[in-house]
Amino acid sequence: MPVNSLTLIAPAKLNLFLHIIGRRPDGFHQLQTLFQLLDYGDELTFTLDQNEGVVLTCSQPELVNADNLVIRAAQALAAFSGQSFNVHIHLDKRLPLGGGIGGGSSDAATTLLALNHLYQLQVCAADLLMLAAGLGADVPVFVNGQTAWAEGIGDRLTPMSLPERWYLVVFAQQHVATPLLFAHPQLTRDTPASTIRAALAETGHNDFEALVRKLYPLIDRAFQACQPYGHARLTGTGACLFLTLPSERAGSNLLNRLTLDHPELSVFLAKGVNHSPALRRLRQQAD
């Protein structure tokens, strides 16, 4: 029986490391990174109705516009499948904008997966990944729905299984201009390529971190605030950083301490997972 309404978590991700190993002739950077999915993210509710087209509402109304990746994902799937959608999508935005944790990309991927399921389109995984790549470099990992090693421009994915650890994610309330970072002359672009994958989750680094800390003083202060509690690392091109915690209890204690001592920071605790909560929910629906 067709489902008329569906609520899914669009999970956040962390880059446990991010190495730039070179640049292609077309100007795109060659990367190596490890995407860690989290059990926390934006929440999207899809409700089929009789209205014409796709109607998007959001807990942050200023995000409702034609450039929103949720709208663009729905349009891409409609054009590919030939199916018109009459659906109300509500986005409960929980992840910070421009945080380097994949909020918009995950929202887009979740939209592709949800509409494919609700309308029983049976668009195959390879075609969904093709549509995802056209929406943004980080969208495919969320369509795949697995923690993964990534190469190329972040589009060549190899699923991996990692220990499901706890992470405290810290947002310094400062927007990072990603194009500026990629073009900056001080960006390191010659980290040696590695074939060691899981080990880099602990020993790798983020080639953007030093530059981001130099250019964005609020992010540097966030690093300083975290310094007494462990080794904080930047995710993506920022602006979020994260600490790895030994347990949920340790993470909760540190969250409370940082929130009290540094109210200027936005902090959340999440568990690393190997499989997307959105895909897990869709499989439950299919069963």
Residue 257 identity (one-letter amino acid): R
Q: Which residues contact 270 (CB under 8 A, 6 or more apart)?
A: 12, 38, 39, 40, 166, 167, 169
Q: In degrees rounded to 5, what are phi and psi of residue 192?
A: -60, 140
pLDDT (mean) for 46-53: 87
Range in 18-27, 52-61, 110-119 the model is least confident about? 18-27
Among candidates 269, 238, 244, 265, which has minimal Cα distance to 99? 238
Q: Which residues pair with 23 in a beta bridge?
A: 29
Q: Which residues pair with 16 in a beta bridge?
A: none
Q: Which residues of 133-166 are buried (b: 16+ CB within 10 A; e: fewer)?
A: eebbbbbbbbbbbbbbbbbeebbebeebebeeeb
Number of structural domains (the chain) is 1
Tokens representing 140?
Answer: 């495919």
Residue span of the structural domain in which 16 resides = 1-287
In whole angstroms, what is the distance from residue 196 CA to residue 45 CA? 39
Over the stretch 191-242, which tens digit does the pLDDT of each residue have?
A: 999 887 777 888 899 999 999 999 999 999 999 999 999 999 999 999 999 9
Cβ-in-10-Å burial (0-12, 13-18, 19+) of 255 comes to middle
Spot the catalytic one: 42, 93, 107, 138: 138
Over the stretch 154-168, which tens digit does the pLDDT of each residue have?
A: 889 999 999 999 999
Q: DSSP state, 161?
A: -
Q: DSSP state, 26?
A: T
Among candidates 68, 72, 14, which has minimal Cα distance to 41? 14
Over the stretch 3-14, which tens digit does the pLDDT of each residue have?
A: 689 999 999 999
Q: Which residues contact 117 (CB under 8 A, 6 or more apart)?
A: 3, 6, 282, 285, 286
214 in active site? no
271 in active site? no
Over the stretch 29-42, which tens digit does the pLDDT of each residue have?
A: 899 999 999 999 99
In whole angstroms, what is the distance from residue 244 CA to residue 167 CA? 5
Cα–chain center distance at 19:
17
Is residue 143 over pLDDT 50? yes
Q: By percentage, how much of the chain surpasses pLDDT 90? A: 85
Spot the catalytic one: 13, 42, 107, 207: 13
Q: Which residues pair with 157 in a beta bridge?
A: 150
Q: Give the pTM.
A: 0.95
The CATH number assigned to the domain holding 9 equals 3.30.230.10
pLDDT at 1: 37
Q: How far apart are the first and last CA of the chain?
A: 12
Is residue 55 over pLDDT 80? yes
Q: DSSP state, 236?
A: T
Tokens representing 113?
Answer: 């997966």
Look up tokens 């495919």; give the residue.
Answer: 140
Over the stretch 58-113, which tens digit does the pLDDT of each residue have?
A: 999 999 999 999 999 999 999 999 999 999 999 999 999 889 999 999 999 999 99
Is residue 43 over pLDDT 60? yes
Mean pLDDT (the chain, rounded): 94
